[in-house]
Amino acid sequence: MLAVMDVGNSNTVIGLYEGEDLRGHWRIVSEAHRTEDELRIFLHMFLHQEGLAAHDVTGCCISSVVPPLNRDVLAAARAAFGVEPIMVGPGLKTGLTIQVENPKEVGADRIVNAVAAVDAFPDVPLIVLDFGTATTFDAITANAEYRGGVIVPGIAISADALFEKCAKLPRVEISRPPNVIGRDTVTHIRSGLTYGYADLVDGLITRMAEEMGTPPTVVATGGLVEAVAGIARRIDHIDPYLTLKGLKALYRRNAKA
């Protein structure tokens, strides 16, 4: 059994793989003040929910973009599973050629997503999107060369900014209204957050594809991907478990080392 963990700015996603099958997955809030003991209790609860014990886990792979949590997450995984986790970072075998000014600046989650996308769609140029706290766009060539990308504020951040900075605007649920032209303030905001964001996505993909020179396959993942699913026209594939699959692939490439 393989445990994988992706520590994001808003949520930490945990998965358990039994061979190729994702046996279970959970999402908890990424709290900077959360302790090792709390995290260890969560992990034991998830194992118990699946009828598993700590000794059933034989490996663990973790990616994180929240450095303050790294020490406690690693310690909790060691204590809960009794294995030494593989942490995604410099020196790991990825199968990618990182062609950016400073490879160490590339978020671990973006590398993990790129690995999973290349495994799923080999030998084709790719644009990989991750709809999280921020929305990231990553360009990968047909030769598995990571060329760079784009970062924009996430949909939830945009919604929060409207509520916090505009005195008369309410906080709204992010959902797609039936029409672009709204007839009240709430649907005005929802239209902008969904249709407007989808057009932002399509526009950036179009510009990236022009610079790449070859039509790419576009793969999207992330907790907020459903907000634009079915609206954005340039997304070819949606995989909510792309990051977990990438962690599984990285573990297998690096476990022996």
> So which residues are the catalytic ones?
109
- Distance (Å) of CA 189 to CA 79, 169, 172, 181: 46, 9, 8, 10
In sequence order, the 6+-apart residues with CB closer than 8 A to the CB of 245 are 116, 119, 120, 239
Contact 36, 22 (CB under 8 A): no
- Beta carbons within 10 angstroms of residue 54's beta carbon: 13
* The Cα angle at residue 150 between residues 87 and 224, in degrees rounded to 5: 70
Beta strands in 102-196 (DSSP E): 126-131, 134-140, 145-153
Residue 29, strand partner residues = 11
Alpha-carbon dihedral sign for residues 188, 192, 196, 197: negative
Q: Identify the three-state secondary structure at position 173.
A: coil
- Whose tokens are 């997304």? That residue is 235
CA–CA gap between residue 111 and residue 250 (Å, rounded): 10
User: In the beta sheet, which residues pair with residue 81?
Assistant: none
